[in-house]
Amino acid sequence: MSQGPEIRADGVAQHALPELQPAVRALAFKLDGICLAVPIEQVGELVDCESITPLPFVKPWIKGVTNIRGGLLPVVDLASYFDKTAVSVRRGMRLIVINVNDAPLGVLTNEVLGMRQFSTAAESATVADFDPVLRPFLQCAMEAEGMCWGLFDLRRLAAESRFQEFVA
């Protein structure tokens, strides 16, 4: 026997609302062919980058600096950091800007795909489906658009001592 609407004390019927599936708004990108997304609250901004000036005597995953609104922004190649194929620097590429120790940092990926909304109910994939070097930085894995996406935590990356070696 199905239950009808709940009747409040004032005699008004109150129907139960369907439970909403929580969603994550994220900036989607590709890293060496791997589909990842960063929660939007971890992204300071997304900027166009015309060129990067290399720096001497830095780690290989540090691409250099770029000029953004008259200020210098250090740029790291996320693929190189994870020992993947280095991202080719080209005109019109986009950088994901984050804050590390209260300083802005540009993160270079293979391709920025734009904003997406992922349902947390779509977590049929697992973090174990991803490359072992990425797993410590993934909050979860989700299926969307027929693909497996990893929710990448830039805060975990920024907190890693190896990543901070160049920032300090």
The 3-state DSSP class for residue 128 equals: helix
> In sequence order, what are the residues at sequence separation of 6 or more whose Cβ sits closer than 8 angstroms to the Cβ of residue 131?
34, 82
Q: Which whole number is the average pLDDT over 83-90? A: 89
User: Does residue 102 have a pLDDT over 50?
Assistant: yes
Q: Which whole number is the average pLDDT over 86-108? A: 87
Read off the DSSP letter of residue 62. Answer: E
pLDDT band at 121 (very low <50, low <70, confident <90, very high): low
Q: Which whole number is the average pLDDT over 60-88? A: 93
pLDDT band at 18 (very low <50, low <70, confident <90, very high): very low
pLDDT band at 126 (very low <50, low <70, confident <90, very high): confident
pLDDT of residue 11: 54
Q: Which whole number is the average pLDDT over 126-153? A: 90
CA atoms within 13 A on the CB side of 128: 2
- Longest Cα–Cα distance of the chain, Å, equals 76
Domains and their CATH numbers in the chain: 24-164 (2.40.50.180)
More confident residue, 74 or 7: 74
Q: Count CB-CB contacts under 10 A for residue 15.
A: 8
Whether the Cβ atoms of residue 142 and residue 122 lie closer than 8 Å to each other: yes
pLDDT band at 19 (very low <50, low <70, confident <90, very high): very low
CA atoms within 13 A on the CB side of 64: 14
Residue 151, Ramachandran bin (φ over 0: left; ψ between -120 and 50: alpha; else beta): beta
